[in-house]
Structure 1
């Protein structure tokens, strides 16, 4: 598969690195010649030092011979125009990154008029994940797969302390018809193996048939807890704060935004109904206490500074806020989150790149997916005849540590797989994959039986 990327920023490079692992052909176009020269010496890609908005450049590349084109420069309008040019010149699928909230109400018009197949908005993507976590966390509408037959449940092990010390190989006796597919430990999501034991402080991700999961949920969660989600404080009135406030407010939740920039407060007040906008510095503890921080059901820290987001999230936890979510741009900070007692950290780059890769993998028929703590993705695919995973016992697939086959829906039957289980054509397969392993997952879903079978 051939992919061209306009813009050698963080997103463009992350997508390129992921696609290279899948043995795809990647071309990066960027007008900064210094950057393209450095890329040539470090990556096996074709680089073009030019402005991708020049039609002649796209024509010289024979853009019509590419399968995908991603416009990921630093300007929305430029991305829209470049993607449109690539489409008009014959590229089958084009993607544009668009951030400006002013464009969000006219996305369908932009896509139809400009011929863009997929528009990704990093702030909106984060908003969707936060919304899922807060509003759907305990309702079981979060994590439903296979038309409602399979569900995913998350809960802290302190809700079932008697299973601490239990090895995964023995969990089938404790949780029949269910499988522990992920463990949140010390700020990281890990994929358990047979010898992995449950430890104090772990968060568990369990998958299984809907009925057993519902019974388990009734034991580990307070009944109706999140039907009472009423008050959310958002610290930071940027794009993420704006999108999230609107979604939560539309759901009937009382939302309060604290923003230090007066002009931005005015903008928010003209674009949000039924949302309280406060002009102030949230690092002032007195202000937070005056605004009844400890009465909030949830707090989201979404300023433009990672350190500030972490500090404010920690402050919220110290004031006994039940759920606290922090937006962080540096991946190195994500591992600190659980150690600090913060419930969730979301990285815009990870979420955006996962969204784009998911679209590119559309040919693999990805039916649905959701992120876990911004570190892993659980997805449902239809197994096609040519995929590398067909007809081979799971134990022989030699999956990387960051990938687990969680469940199989075959006809009317839901299968919690063992090592001997073989995936058949047209099975609905639910896979949990660390975001770092998405490129390897591309091999697993590839049209030829390589990669995993040869791993040592």
Structure 2
């Protein structure tokens, strides 16, 4: 697939990096010579220096033969303009990164597709939504919802108290026959290997396991693993930039008691004027004394979304030491994921990864409705819509020639999520959630074309 990316910032470079691994034909456009030089030296892609809103530059990038154009510069005006121009010049599909979430809320009413913009994404809004979901499922370190919760992905680390530690998947299924969840990926403690579990796979203490659950499955999972999905109401947020602001606004509107710490005086007063239900404190949240003065030990969740990853991590560790049950940190460096889990931070949020997940489904073959990459695991979770021509249509799961490095986690039929076992027959219109290692993605895609 020929893909043009406008903007070589953190999101654009990360996308180019991931897409280049998949042998896609990538062209990266930016005005910053240093950013392009770094990308050119480290990635197998083509770079074009210039203004992406220039018709001449777009033509130099061969926009007329482009199958997907992704505009992710820091300016939403530029991104919208680039998409409109690219569509007129022959690009098949366009995606624009925006910061004003009103555009997403009213996209159907405004009709952005008529202008030439097929999809709008906001990494900041995606991060705020991810944080809200993490608070709702507080006992899990990773969450993702399919079809508004018809099926949910939940990740956790198995402790000694988990009922099925020491048992195989098959043995656990026999003991708990009415369970509404299924394991889809396992990472052994202290390793970087991802296992797609089979019937003879044994659960071990310290395993990082990702499950797919249907309705009620999350509660069952908590009981069997010795965890408690506590209701969270009192939240402290460090950082009043876009993600902190959106999170504070959304949570306060849903009845949470929110304290927000913002070091910049003018920004703090602006937020206080706009978010009347939020207690805004003009103070440096990195100061332990300040956190104690603001009764951090009384908080049920602490969310650090400041501009510095290291500060966010350290602040969460301080919160954890003060007895806060749920800690969430925004990090930019993907290498921190494994380290931070091992030292006790519950959930990590990465804007680049969220944006990439949102965009990646447009390059997958088959009718991909949604997808997410599993954090720190070499696997993807994809939701396919079954067509009459799909190889899996009207077949039972056990009769499908599925690779051993992939597994069906569940099926959504008429809006209802189901844990589908071997005798389940897939029908046209079903939405099938599949977890697969990266090496088996192409083979899985062919089953749903």
TM-score, length-scaled by structure 1: 0.80
Could you tell me which runs of 5 or more consecutive residues in structure 1 were left unpaired when the two chains were aligned: 450-456
More helix by share: 1
Q: Does 1:197 align with 2:199?
A: no
Q: Which residue of 2 aligns with 1:349?
A: 352
Cα deviation for residue 50 of structure 1 reads: 2.8
* Alpha-carbon displacement from aligned partner over 1:140-174 (angstroms, at most 9, x marks no partner): xx866579765555565448434222233433223
In structure 2, distance between residues paired with 1:186 and 1:116: 44
User: Equivalent residue for 1:235?
Assistant: 238
Q: Which residue in 2 is equivalent to 1:299?
A: 302
Partners of 1:389 and 1:444 within 8 A in 2: no
1:246 aligned residue: 249
CA displacement, residues 420-439 of structure 1 (integer Å, 9 cap, x when unaligned) = 989676543212357xx3x8
| Counterpart in the other structure of 1:163 | 164
Which residue in 2 is equivalent to 1:180? 183
Per-residue Cα deviation, 1:75-132 (whole angstroms, up to 9, x for no partner): 3322222122112323232111223678777766493674322122111111111111
Q: Which moved more, 1:109-118 or 1:295-304?
A: 109-118
CA deviations 1:279-312 (Å, max 9, x no partner) are: 1111221211111111111110111111111111
Secondary structure of the corresponding residue to residue 13 of structure 1: helix
Cα gap change, 1:241/1:143 in structure 2, threshold over 3 Å: closer, same or farther?
closer
Deviation readout 1:390-437 (Å, 9 max, x if unpaired): 77968954354xx5322346799956445x989676543212357xx3
Q: By how many angstroms is 1:440 displaced?
A: 5.6
Which residue of 2 is the match for residue 90 of structure 1? 90
Choose the corresponding residue for 1:320, options 300, 320, 323.
323
1:79 maps to: 79
Change (3 A) 1:444 1:26: farther
Change (3 A) 1:395 1:221: same
Quickly say closer, same or farther: Cα 1:249–1:35, change in 2 above 3 A. Answer: closer
The verdict on how the C-alpha distance between 1:10 and 1:343 changes in structure 2, with shifts beyond 3 A counting, is same
Describe the shift of the 1:355–1:133 C-alpha distance in structure 2 as closer, same or farther (beyond 3 A): same
User: Where does 1:233-382 land on structure 2 (aligned, <5 Å)?
Assistant: 233-361=236-364, 364-368=366-370, 378-382=381-385
CA distance in 1, matches of 2:90, 2:47: 20
Partner of 1:337: helix, strand, or coil? helix
Change (3 A) 1:41 1:71: same
- 1:263 offset after TM fit, Å? 1.9
Match of 1:117 in 2: 118
Shift of 1:183: 4.2
Normalised TM-score (structure 2): 0.81
Structure 2 gaps of 5+ residues are none
Inter-partner Cα distance in structure 1 for 2:217 and 2:27: 48
Please report the RMSD computed on the Cα atoms of aligned residues, expressed in angstroms. 4.0
Q: Partners of 1:73 and 1:373 in 2: how far apart? A: 25
Partner in structure 2 of residue 206 of structure 1: 211
Aligned to 2:6: 6
